[in-house]
Amino acid sequence: MIPGILKFALVSWVVKAVANVKMCNKVYSVRGEARRILFGIAWPFLLNIFWEPKSISILRHQYWEYNEKIEIQNRRIAGRKANDESWLPLKTYNTSRNLFTKAAPASRSPITTGLYATALILSTGLFAVYYFDSRSALHRYVIMPVLRQTLDAESSHKLAVKVLRSGLGPKDPVTDDENLTFNLWGHQISNPVGLAAGFDKDGEAIDGLFDLGFSWVEIGSITPKPQPGNPKPRVFRLSEDNAIINRYGFPSQGHATVLSRIRARLPIFLAGEQETASLRDGSLLAVNLGKNKESPADSVEDFVAGVRTFGPYSDVLVVNVSSPNTPGLRGLQNKASLETLLTSVTQARDHLPISSINSQRPRLVLKIAPDLDQSQIEDIAGVIMGTGIDGVIVSNTTIQRPSHLKSASRTEIGGLSGSPIKHYTLTAVKTLRANLPSHIPIIGCGGISSGEDALEYARAGATMVQVYTSFGYDGVGTCRRIKDQIVEKLQKEGTTWAKIVEKAVDEFSLKDELPKVKPGEGTVNQLIEEAEHLNKLLDKFGSKMDSVNDRTIAAASQPML
Ligand SMILES: Cc1cc2nc3c(=O)[nH]c(=O)nc-3n(C[C@H](O)[C@H](O)[C@H](O)COP(=O)(O)O)c2cc1C
């Protein structure tokens, strides 16, 4: 016989699990699921400590009444009187009480019952708001300010990763508006808002982050060997300026640990064929590669190792040569060093086998700093075109300090991010766009905290955007809020994200890198997309033929019976 409270827990867990599956694209991990079960069992217990639901008390009373009747019958059968206390006091049934079998008081005042009912409705409502509405004011105006007042920047960062890792983080259950979709490298991406590197450095909360509605989750930067990063304190809030200064210096658990985490997600999802390594429709998983502090400044080995390790498990690999907190790293943006580096990583990528997850090789993207001048950006564009890099993220944090910064921490050493850097990054996007052909997408990142900011990047020719600092300040609803604001603007203007990007890219990109097509034959972009699509199909076909061949060879080598 299952005790009532366990039944309650079981039902509540099933409801929660069904809601998860239905609303969040089968978001499962073994550890996450174990936590969900524990939580499903724990929260009715917690509720029960404060309040015993009336319905459960009533059921228990009926159960005791039934027991009493049986007992009285037994006494009659044994020839005793029903109220014979010398046999066995009937009260025994009602006095074997513990926390979960305690009878409700015989009569409860309507006020108390009203208070309990209100408490239940409120707590259930708050839980529903917390869990199912990532954009709720609860997160932005209650949880985040409380965190800022009580924890330092690094501790709240760690806590946020833990909550999102646990499977108990909130969800964005709203399907993305179709005006947000766009095409990137042959994939139909569901919205243009991604999460930048540095939040989930060790790939602990990949699914928790996708649950918040990001279409691109970038984990890392990851270094080959584990390293602790710079001494603490190393992250500083500049609240008056909506900014952060960090000098983390790539704390990383290293390739092996992060790889095992990424691989642990796979068995749950791999029943069917996957479009992308994110294992979600319309989303991409990116891995940001860093280098160890003690590796030689101009060596490319750490990046090549990253490509080999994470290539088969990611949609995008980001070569990060722009963090200001690793000595010598930004020097790799110089023309000669960059040429060597990008040639090595593209070769390593091209030698990877086709991934068995998404039947592709990963895209390679370069992440640059916002502190480059016009001629440096022109050089970088030249190297990108010559080496076959697939895209660029503009940009990382800046070492500049605008004079208008107000916060006391503005003099800290490290990279500045957030609202004050938008001017620098947008300028860099425009300069780079003018030096890159239209088929190489730019991903805009820096100071984006609203739909209008994101659209500014799109109008400058960025195919999509990433956020970090605004997510750190506004919390889990940031992605949903920015998407809603974009949709509102798009509807007002009667256009779509893809159309805005296409117009800007056509207008501002470097021209004439490919022979012009005759009118009526489609745009260069369309031809490139078609070629990429064809390439993808051929890759898939090739890997299927390989597996058929393997099976044929295996069958042929079986002894004949
Ligand atoms: C605390 C913190 C840590 C970061 N760590 C990394 C990192 O490890 N690798 C990286 O490429 N960028 C890192 N970044 C840079 C962000 O990915 C992003 O490029 C930058 O913050 C600009 O975007 P934002 O203004 O929206 O924050 C970090 C940023 C912050 C604030």
For residue range 273-289, list pLDDT tens digits in order.
678 888 889 999 999 99
Atom of ligand 1 nearest to the CA of 467: 26
pLDDT of residue 549: 59
Question: What's the alpha-carbon Rg for the chain, to the nearest Å?
Answer: 29
The rounded distance, in Å, linking the Cα atoms of 151 and 510 is 47
- Better-scored residue on pLDDT, 47 or 509: 509
Lowest mean pLDDT among 136-145, 199-208, 302-311, 366-375: 136-145
Nearest to 367 by CA among 453, 288, 434, 300: 288
Mean pLDDT computed over 89-106: 47
- pLDDT of res. 278: 87
Per-residue pLDDT, 112: 79
Contact 255, 20 (CB under 8 A): no
pLDDT at residue 561 in the model? 33
- The confidence score (pLDDT) of residue 97 equals 44
pLDDT per position as a tens digit, 407-462 = 999 999 999 999 999 999 999 999 999 999 999 999 999 999 999 999 999 999 99
Atom of ligand 1 minimally distant from the CA of 447: 25
Whose Cα sits closest to atom 15 in ligand 1?
Answer: 396
Mean pLDDT taken over the chain: 83
pLDDT band for 56, please (50, 70, 90 cuts). Answer: low
Euclidean distance between CA atoms 196 and 207, whole angstroms: 15
Q: Which of 125-129, 254-258, 269-273 has the highest mean pLDDT?
A: 254-258
User: How far does CA 13 lie from the centroid of its chain?
Assistant: 24
For the CA of 367, the closest atom of ligand 1 is: 11
The three-state DSSP-derived secondary structure of 335-403 is HHHHHHHHHHHHHHHHCCCCCCCCCCCCEEEEEECCCCCHHHHHHHHHHHHHHCCCEEEECCCECCCCC
Cα–Cα distance, 560 to 481 (Å, whole number) = 64
pLDDT score of 201 more than 80: yes
CB 182 within 8 A of CB 464: yes
Nearest CA to ligand 1 atom 5: 198
For residue 493, what are its two tokens?
Answer: 């203007």
CB-based contacts of 372: which residues, under 8 Å, 6+ apart? 333, 380, 428
Residue 487 pLDDT exceeds 80: yes
Q: Candidates 200, 258, 468, 470: which one to mutate for ligand 1, based on the most atoms within 8 Å of Cβ?
A: 468
Banded model confidence at residue 109, pLDDT cuts 50, 70, 90: confident
Q: In this predicted model, which residue has the larger pLDDT, 18 or 348? A: 348
Higher pLDDT among residues 26 and 114, named by residue: 114
Q: How far is the CA of 413 from the centre of ligand 1 (A)?
A: 15
pLDDT at 239: 96
What pLDDT score does 276 carry?
85
- Residue 4 pLDDT: 58
* The token pair that represents 15 in the structure block: 């409801």
Q: How far, in Å, is the centroid of ligand 1 from the Cα of 444?
A: 12
Q: Residue 77: pLDDT above 50?
A: yes
Phi-psi sector, 254: left (phi>0), alpha (psi -120 to 50), beta: left
Question: Residue 238: which H helix or E strand, with range?
Answer: strand 235-238
Looking at residue 60, its pLDDT comes to: 60
DSSP 8-state class, residue 184: E
**Active site amino acids:** 323
> Helices 451-459 and 497-508: crossing angle, nearest 10°?
40
The 10s digit of each residue's pLDDT in 138-180 is 788 888 999 999 999 999 999 999 999 998 888 888 999 999 9
More confident residue, 265 or 72: 265
Residues with CB under 6 A from ligand 1: 196-198, 201, 220-221, 235, 244, 246, 248, 250, 288, 320, 323, 367, 396-397, 417-418, 421, 445-448, 467-470
Calpha distance 186→377 (Å, rounded): 27
Percent of the chain scoring above 90 in pLDDT: 58
Q: Which two three-digit tokens encode residue 504?
A: 């800007």
Reported as a pLDDT band with limits 50, 70 and 90, residue 559 is very low
Q: Average pLDDT in the 501-511 region? A: 97
Cβ–Cβ < 8 Å for 425, 258? no
**What is the model's pLDDT at position 516?**
46
Candidates 176, 173, 175, 177; CA nearest to 128 is 173
Greater pLDDT, 412 or 115? 412
CA distance 193 to 191: 6
Q: Is the pLDDT of residue 321 over 60?
A: yes
The pLDDT assigned to 96 comes to 44
Question: Residues of the chain with pLDDT > 70: what percent?
Answer: 72
Tokens 């060093």, residue? 337
Which residues on neighbouring strands pair with residue 428, listed in sequence order?
Answer: none
Q: What is the pLDDT of residue 127?
A: 72
Average pLDDT over residues 215-219: 98
Q: Please give the backbone phi and psi of residue 514, each rounded to the nearest 5 degrees, phi first.
A: -130, 150
Cis upstream peptide for 221 (omega within 30°) = yes
pLDDT at residue 39 tops 90: no
Q: In the Cβ-directed half-sphere of 89, how many Cα atoms lie within 13 Å?
A: 5
Residue nearest atom 3 in ligand 1 by C-alpha distance: 198
Q: Is the pLDDT of residue 51 over 50?
A: no
